[in-house]
Amino acid sequence: MSVANSALQTPPLLFLLAVAGFSSVASTRLCDAMLPALARSFATSPAQASAAISSYAVAYGLMQWVYGPLGDRFGKPRVILLALAWCALGTAAAALAKSLDALVLARAAMGAGAAAVVPLSVAWIGDTVPLAQRQQVLARYSSFTVCGMVLGPLLGGLMAEFLSWRGAFMVLAPLLAAICLALLLRPRTATGHATGPEATAVRGPACSPPPGAAPQTRRPAYRQQLKALLSDRWSLAVMAASFLEAVLAIGSLAFVPTVLHAQLGLSLLAGGAITALFGAGGFAFSRSAARMLRCLRAPDMPRVAGLILALAYALLALMPHWSFAVLGCLLAGFGFFTLHNTLQVNATQLSADATGLAVSLFSACNFTGQSLGVALGATLLARVGHGWIFSFASLGLLLLGLGLSRGLHARLAAPSSQRVA
């Protein structure tokens, strides 16, 4: 078996983590389309019902500072299992909530559990898959999370429309529980680390040793790890890029359904369906990533992504007809995940002994950027209109892609002694 096939056949653990990623992202987006139903159920306003979304987001963001060090210390799959079990309990509690306050608390518990899944899974891939195959494996993993991004709000909307908003939580809770059980019962030899003669090649030189191996050096303390990451210019650049891509791409995309409804007369359901094509574009990237990597060098990927994103958001800025939004959202999804995949790969290389912490901080920057992007977009929409929002995103993402590509080329040309492990 080749090294590449060995890495890609790390499942069942890799597959279980991918399904867990799908479920956690679906839980993140579950309440997006059910706010009117929640407002009716609890005799309140949609604005007050949105606390079910914000409580999840706050808990998710805060827990990034916790799960990274825990994953590095106790093992990433183990922490994911425990966090996913907590998310399953929170989901079941949400289905049984008798008041809005109870639902808000349950959603916070869901966010606190789901926060571990994607960042620690990405960090685990960084620990166990060699750099040559890592971008392709991360792209395949992303195909699951993209599906969760698309199907989460769809599940919530369909259940709220035709049955009950509680039904969405009742569907998701058993799925989360089943994944926990599968992770718990997987063979003890499936540790998530390669063993045997190919172990070193599959893990890569900077990856964690297999369980039971005596550590060569003592792991630095959390404060030292954090200081090392925050004092390194390239680490800060990768995290800043993660923050900016979320502000520009995700923050502005949130207003596509509103613009389609207010400016072009489409229903909110139709606007939401068109916006969901962003996920379809991301899925298209995940299926074509291997082919792209055969044609392009990794440092060239952000440049291509920046050009695609610039075109996508220019179409959204013009948007004389809803068909522009269809093409714009598809291209935006493809370009965003091309850029994000490159950033993820670099996030897994920021630290040799604190991959979980590095990827968790990367994820926290991205999540914070999404929240700030929506707030800034709302302000711009009220003051200058939607055209300026998407125009600013188009220019900003082009410059981000070009700048990141230039930085990657410079690092590739630099002597290895000047690069951070």
User: For 315-340, how does the pLDDT look when each residue is reduced to its tens digit (9 = 90+)?
Assistant: 998 888 888 889 998 999 899 988 98
Which of 208, 242, 276 corresponds to the end of one domain? 208
- Could you tell me if 377 and 251 are in contact, meaning their C-beta atoms sit under 8 angstroms apart? yes
Q: How confident is the model at residue 210 (pLDDT cuts 50, 70, 90)?
A: very low
Cα–Cα distances (Å) from 411 to 60, 205, 233, 408, in that order, read: 32, 19, 12, 5
Q: What is the per-residue pLDDT for 214? A: 41
In terms of domains, do 159 and 226 share one?
Answer: no
Mean pLDDT of 221-241: 80
In terms of domains, do 176 and 306 share one?
Answer: no
In a domain, 421, yes or no: no
Hey, which of 30-44, 168-182, 205-219 has the most confident mean pLDDT?
168-182
213: exposed, middle or buried (C-beta count within 10 Å: 0-12, 13-18, 19+)?
exposed
In terms of domains, do 158 and 301 share one?
Answer: no
Q: How confident is the model at residue 88 (pLDDT cuts 50, 70, 90)?
A: very high
In a domain, 271, yes or no: yes
User: For 364-379, how does the pLDDT look when each residue is reduced to its tens digit (9 = 90+)?
Assistant: 888 778 777 767 776 7
Q: 386-413 vs 355-383: helix axis angle to the nearest 10?
A: 150
In a domain, 420, yes or no: no
In a domain, 153, yes or no: yes
Mean pLDDT across the chain, nearest whole number? 78
Measured between alpha carbons, how far apart are the two ends of the chain, in Å? 29
In terms of domains, do 380 and 243 share one?
Answer: yes
In terms of domains, do 255 and 395 share one?
Answer: yes
In terms of domains, do 269 and 289 share one?
Answer: yes
Q: What is the per-residue pLDDT for 311? A: 94
In terms of domains, do 302 and 322 share one?
Answer: yes
Q: What is the per-residue pLDDT for 407? A: 86
User: For 192-207, how does the pLDDT look when each residue is reduced to its tens digit (9 = 90+)?
Assistant: 443 333 333 334 434 4
In terms of domains, do 191 and 275 share one?
Answer: no
| pLDDT for residue 359 is more than 70 | yes
In terms of domains, do 339 and 408 share one?
Answer: yes
Q: What is the per-residue pLDDT for 176? A: 92
Number of Cβ within 10 Å of residue 214's Cβ equals 5
Mean pLDDT of 280-293: 81
Which of 208, 241, 269 corresponds to the end of one domain? 208
Percent of the chain at pLDDT > 90 equals 15
Q: How confident is the model at residue 281 (pLDDT cuts 50, 70, 90)?
A: confident
Per-residue b/e over 366-405, b at no fewer than 16 CB within 10 Å? bbbbbbebbebbeebbeeeebeebbbbbbebbbebbbbbb
Q: What is the per-residue pLDDT for 190? A: 40
In a domain, 213, yes or no: no
In terms of domains, do 145 and 256 share one?
Answer: no
Of 10-14, 25-29, 106-110, 289-293, the one with minimum mean pLDDT is 10-14
Q: What is the per-residue pLDDT for 146? A: 77
- Strand ranges in 155-311 using DSSP code E only, listed in sequence order: none
Using only C-alpha atoms, the chain has a radius of gyration, in whole angstroms, of 21
Task: Tell me the residue range of the domain where 258 lies.
Answer: 220-415
- Could you tell me if 68 and 368 are in contact, meaning their C-beta atoms sit under 8 angstroms apart? no
- Could you tell me if 103 and 97 are in contact, meaning their C-beta atoms sit under 8 angstroms apart? yes
- List the one residue out of 292, 332, 291 whose CA is nearest residue 311: 332
In terms of domains, do 150 and 225 share one?
Answer: no
User: For 294-312, how does the pLDDT look when each residue is reduced to its tens digit (9 = 90+)?
Assistant: 888 878 888 999 999 999 9
Q: What is the per-residue pLDDT for 53? A: 75
| pLDDT for residue 38 is more than 70 | yes
In a domain, 179, yes or no: yes
Domain with residue 5: its CATH number is: 1.20.1250.20
Q: What is the per-residue pLDDT for 195? A: 39
Which of 175, 208, 241 corresponds to the end of one domain? 208
Total domains in the chain come to: 2
In terms of domains, do 171 and 293 share one?
Answer: no
Separation of alpha carbons 80 and 122, rounded Å: 11
In a domain, 34, yes or no: yes
In a domain, 215, yes or no: no
- Could you tell me if 198 and 189 are in contact, meaning their C-beta atoms sit under 8 angstroms apart? no
